[in-house]
Amino acid sequence: MNQNRSLLVIYTGGTIGMVQDSETGSLMPFNFENLYEYIPVLKNFNYTIDFFVFDSLIDSSNVNPEFWIKLAGVIETKYEDYDGFVVLHGTDTMSFSASMLSFMLENLNKPVIFTGSQLPLGVIRTDGRDNFINAVEIAAAYQNDTPIVPEVCIFFDNKLFRGNRTTKFNSENFKAFLSGNYPLLAEVGVKIKYHKEYIQKPNFKKLKVYKNIDRDVALLKLYPGISKQLVQAVLHTEGIKALVLETFGSGNAPTDVWFIEAIEQAIQNGIIVFVVTQCKGGSVEIGKYETSRDLGRIGVISGYDITTEAAITKIMFLLGNINSKENIRELLQTSLRGEITV
Ligand code: ASP
C-alpha cells in the first residue's frame, strides 16, 4: 500500500542534523549525502526520498517570519511532486513553526511531518534515528490512495501530535512535546496506530499558501506583582495591533483598577486582546471567577484552549491576510486548522 511513495525531506537545522567533530568535539551540521550511513535502514523503505537542504542551517531559536515564508514556499513549489513532506527542525521553536505552517497552508491534503531530536544523529543513543524513520513512514502512509494524515504534525518520541496543539515542555527528556488539549493522532509501538477519529479529513481542494505575516503582536505573561509600568510599556509598543495575554488558570487576571483600565484603553485604541491560559491543559472560561469578569466586560477575546504558540502565530497570520478587525476577531474564535476547541 505504501509502495513507491515519494517524499521530500526538508532539512532546516537543529540538533538532529549534527555530528560531533572528531577533533574539536563540538557539534556541527553533517552532510546529508551521508544520511544513509547514519540510518542505513532507510534504504529498506520502498520510497523515493529526496532532500532539500536550507542553505543556511539554523538553530531554531533564530526562526522568524522570513524562515516560515521560505519553508512554506518550498512546500508550495514541490507540492505536486511529492506524496508527503518531512521537516527536520530544531525542537526549541518547532511548535511555533508547525502552528504557523498549519495556518499558511490552507487546503493541505498531504502530510507535513515536523521532527527533530534531543540528541544529534551522530550520537549513539540518538532519538533522532527513530524520530526520523517514523516521520518518514507516517509521511508516506496512504490508504486507498489518500494520505492518512493530511495535516501539519509533529512526530516525537513515538507520538504523533497535531502541530498547532503542541508545546515544547522539556528541554532534555526524549519526551519533549505535550499536547494538553488534543489527543494524539497516532502512537508508535509494534505497529503505528492511527487515531483516525482525531485526524483531519482531506478536502481535496487546491492548496493555497499565504505568505503575508504581520509581526505586530505582543505577548504579555501575567505574574503576581507585575508592574503598571511594564504593562503600559507593552501596550504602548509602537505599531502593536494585538496582544496575547497569558492569564492565570481559566483566564484570570488581577482586578486592580489600573490593570483593567490599561487593557480597556488598549482595546478602545483598536488593539485586539486575545486571552490564553498559562496552563498546559484546560481552557479559558471568562466569567467563571470574579477575577475574569472584568476582562469579559471590557471586550477581550477568549482563546479557549489554544496554546500560546498557536495564538501568536494565528494572530500574525490573520493580521497579515485579513483587513477587517471585526473578521479577525471572529476568526480568532473559529477553528481554522483544528487549533482551538470552541
Ligand atoms: N537549540 C536547538 C534548536 O532548536 C535544539 C534542538 O534542535 O533540539 O535548534
Q: Is residue 339 part of a domain?
A: no
Q: Is 90 in the pocket of ligand 1 (CB under 6 A)?
A: yes
CA distance 66 to 307: 22
pLDDT digits 0-9 by tens, 241-258? 999 999 999 999 999 999
Is the domain of 193 the same as that of 274? no
91 lines ligand 1 (CB under 6 A): yes
Range of the structural domain that residue 239 is part of: 217-332
Alpha carbon distance 219, 272 (integer Å)? 12
Distance, CA 290 to ligand 1 centroid (Å)?
41
CA of 15 to the centre of ligand 1 (A): 5
Angle between helix axes 290-298 and 257-268 (nearest 10 degrees) is: 20
Q: Is 161 helix (H, G, I), strand (E, B) or coil?
A: strand
Location of C-alpha cell 501596550? 235
Q: Is residue 162 part of a domain?
A: yes
Instruction: Tell whether 203 and 102 lie within a shared domain.
Output: yes
Q: Are residues 35 and 122 in the same domain?
A: yes
Distances in Å between the alpha carbon of 153 and those of 185, 200, 237? Answer: 9, 11, 33
Segments of 223-328 assigned E as strands: 242-247, 272-277, 301-302
- Assign 3-class secondary structure to 5-17: CEEEEEEEECHHH
**Residue 23 has what pLDDT?**
86
257-268 vs 228-235: helix crossing angle, rounded to 10: 0
97 CB less than 6 Å from ligand 1? no
**Residue to mutate (ligand 1; options 28, 54, 91, 132; most atoms within 8 A of CB):** 91
Dist. CA 206 → ligand 1 center (Å): 33
Residue that is last in its domain, among 162, 190, 209: 209
Instruction: Identify the three-state secondary structure at position 84.
Output: strand
120 CA to centre of ligand 1 in angstroms: 10
Residue 26 domain flag: yes
Helix (H, G, I), strand (E, B) or coil at 217: strand
188 inside domain: yes
Q: Hey, which residues does 112 pair with through a beta bridge?
A: 85, 152
Q: Is 246 in the pocket of ligand 1 (CB under 6 A)?
A: no
CB atoms < 10 A from the CB of 228, how many?
Answer: 12
Question: Three-state DSSP class for 132?
Answer: helix
Tell me, what's the pLDDT at 101? 99
- CA dist 171 and 94 (Å) reads 12
Closest CA to 136 of 44, 60, 28: 44
Grid cell for residue 124: 549513539
Q: Which three cell numbers mark 164?
A: 498547532
d(CA 140, CA 113): 10
- Is the same domain home to 126 and 188? yes
Ligand 1 pocket, residue 14 CB under 6 Å: yes
Is 131 near ligand 1, meaning CB less than 6 Å away? no
Q: Are 316 and 214 in contact (CB under 8 A)?
A: yes
Measured CA distances, 188 to 1, 129, 134, 224 (Å): 18, 14, 8, 41
Given the CA of residue 94, which atom of ligand 1 is nearest to it? 4
Any atom of ligand 1 within 6 Å of the Cβ of 120 = no
CA distance 253 to 114: 35
- Bridge-based pairing of strands 242-247 and 217-221 is parallel
Does the C-beta of 15 come closer than 6 Å to ligand 1? yes
Indicate whether 1 belongs to any domain.
no
Q: Which atom of ligand 1 is nearest to the CA of 176?
A: 8
At residue 242, what are phi and psi to the nearest 5 degrees? -150, 155
The two counts, helices (H) then strands (E), for the chain are: 9, 20
H or E stretch including 83? none
Q: What is the CATH number of the domain that holds 243?
A: 3.40.50.40
Which residues of the chain register pLDDT less than 70?
Answer: 1-3
Task: Confirm or reject: Cβ of 294 under 6 Å from ligand 1.
Answer: no
338 within domain boundaries: no
Final residue before a domain boundary, out of 179, 209, 239? 209
Catalytic, out of 12, 15, 91, 126: 15
Segment (H or E) for 193: strand 192-194
| Residue 266 resides in a domain | yes
15 is catalytic: yes
CATH number at 60 reads: 3.40.50.1170
Q: Are residues 256 and 150 in the same domain?
A: no
Cα separation of 299 and 86, whole Å? 41
Ligand 1: atom nearest CA of 117 is 8
Tens-digit pLDDT profile for residues 20-47? 777 888 777 777 777 888 888 888 999 9
- 62 CA distance to ligand 1 centroid (A)? 10
How far, in Å, is the centroid of ligand 1 from the Cα of 43? 27
Of 156, 183, 209, which marks where a domain is finished? 209
Q: Is 60 in the pocket of ligand 1 (CB under 6 A)?
A: yes
CA 28 / ligand 1 centre spacing (Å): 12
Please answer whether residues 295 and 329 qualify as being in contact, where contact means their C-beta atoms are separated by less than 8 angstroms. Answer: no
The whole-angstrom separation of Cα 113 and Cα 148 is 12
- What is the total count of domains within the chain? 2
The pick from 58, 92, 172 for probing ligand 1's pocket by mutation, whose C-beta has the most ligand atoms within 8 angstroms, reads 92
